[in-house]
Structure 1
Amino acid sequence: MNLKKKLAMSIATGALAVSMIGGGTYAYFNDVETTNNTFAAGTLDLAVNPSVIIDVDNLKPGDWMPRTFDLINDGTLDISKVFITTDYSYDGTDEDFGKHIKVNFLRNEDKSGILLPSNVIISKTLYELKNMSPDAVKNLSHSIFAEKSGLKAGTKDKLAVQFEFVDNGQEQNDLQGASLQLEWTFDAQQTDGQKR
């Protein structure tokens, strides 16, 4: 055998030995475990009871109308804030009837302290409220005896409101036969995220 053939045969034998050694290094013990994980989102579900807070007719200037209603958290998540937005439309007059209907107070009875009530709204006309978004479940009394701000899942807050057809001491004949349709929207907001 000549030198070239011996050299080629040695290289081939070496390559075969290396491949056998390398192939043997892939053997190892193995154990596999699988986990089954779940992510489920909670729900925000705010209800207002009754759904019609006020429905009156034959009003005259000076009349006032007290009402109560509940904000109910029927969801699985706590609510941090409930913003109230006011909108309305009116018929039968060129005068903005919302300037003559006042909310003397909107009070959260569950957030009120012994001495200081938690008045969400104090003496504002519907016209003024169109530019406001008060929080109906905020403890404004800062009393240690009142519930904390927010609305926990499965609980409710009782609210008291008083509307008034304002007697402005002037002739208001242009409001005779007028009507106003009030829409209060209650916008519930979740609490901040937290480590779970």
Structure 2
Amino acid sequence: MSIKKKLGLGVASAVLGVSLIGGGTYAYFSDSEDTNNTFAAGTLDLTVDPTTIIDVKNLKPGDVMVREFVLGNSGSLDISSVDLSTEYTVTDANGDNVDDFGKHIKVLFLENADKTGDGWVIGDYNDVISETTLYDLQHQTPDAVENLQSWITWFFGLNGEDSGLEAGTSDQMYVAFEFVDNDADQNEFQGDALNLKWTFNAHQTDGELR
């Protein structure tokens, strides 16, 4: 075998040996940086003050009761809508009811004064609820923080706040109930009690590009 071939075989063997020892690795430059990231969810926190809006005894047909309360947003996220759901139970004192007591208790209005704004001046009120009985209201879910005023107040710049409830703000609410006097015999309701549960369900605004 010539010296050239011997040298060639020697170099090849050396390269193979280095490759086996190094496990096929090769050298390169590198650098790295870490990032610390956070996803923190906001909060929806709807408040009602007071939590008992009405507590009245010794009612008689024809009585009207006006009350006020405040809806507040104590959370960190804006609220887009607040749906009101109605439930009630009737205690029949004498067991002689043939009609539903809820048909005789009317909500004359539920007014959001903050959404009304200067609409008070021209009598264009922001009635969330207008002239309906508790019986009928069971099947409705009005939005308590929606601006419902007409184009008239908008045109004259008398409109109140936009719909919804921004974080850290509140809306002043007024409500009027009536025990309807239907000019008929309502003796079956003597001594009866109606327990009303209003649930205010707040919803977030739409997601956005952040």
Q: TM-score, normalised by structure 2?
A: 0.83
Equivalence map 1:16-27=2 (5 Å): 16-17=14-15, 20=18, 26-27=26-27
Give the length in aligned residue pairs.
192
Distance 1:17 1:70, change over 3 A: same
Other-structure match for 1:133: 141
Distance in 1 (CA, whole Å) between partners of 2:173 and 2:166 is: 16
Deviation, 1:17, is: 2.6
Structure 2 gaps of 5+ residues are: none
Instruction: Report the secondary structure of 1:90's partner residue.
Output: strand
Question: Match of 2:41?
Answer: 41
The aligned amino acid for 2:29 is F
Q: Which portions of structure 1, spanning 4 or more consecutive aligned residues, are displaced by more than 2 angstroms? A: 9-26, 142-145
Q: Does 1:14 align with 2:7?
A: no
Give the number of the structure whose residues are more often helix, by fraction. Answer: 2
Find the counterpart in structure 1 of residue 76 from structure 2: 76
* SS of equivalent to 2:86: strand
* Matched AA of 2:57: D
Partner of 1:174: 188
What SS does the corresponding residue of 1:112 show, helix, strand or coil?
Answer: helix
Asked if 1:153 corresponds to 2:151, the answer is no
Q: Check if 1:124 corresponds to 2:122.
A: no
Alignment-derived partner of residue 188 in structure 1:
202
Deviation at 1:167, TM superposition (A): 0.5
Helix, strand or coil for the counterpart of 1:157? strand
Structure 1 CA distance for aligned equivalents of residues 26 and 42 of structure 2: 48
* Residues in 1 aligned to 2:25 and 2:57: alpha-carbon distance in whole angstroms: 92
Shift of 1:26: 2.3
Task: Tell me by how many angstroms 1:40 deviates.
Answer: 0.4
Q: Percent identity?
A: 54
Cα deviation code 1:79-102 (max 9, x no counterpart): 000000000000125231100000
Instruction: State the partner residue of 1:97.
Output: 101
TM-superposed CA distance for 1:18, in Å, is 6.2
State the match for 2:113 in structure 1. Answer: 109
The answer for the alignment partner of 2:88 in structure 1 is 88
Shift of 1:10: 5.8
Structure 1 length-normalised TM: 0.89
54 and 11 in structure 1: CA distance in 2 versus 1, 3 angstrom threshold: farther
Structure 2: which amino acid aligns with 1:169? D
Structure 1, unaligned runs of 5 or more: none
Cα deviation for residue 25 of structure 1 reads 7.5
Quote how far apart the aligned CAs of 1:19 are. 7.1
C-alpha separation in 2, matches of 1:110 and 1:163: 20
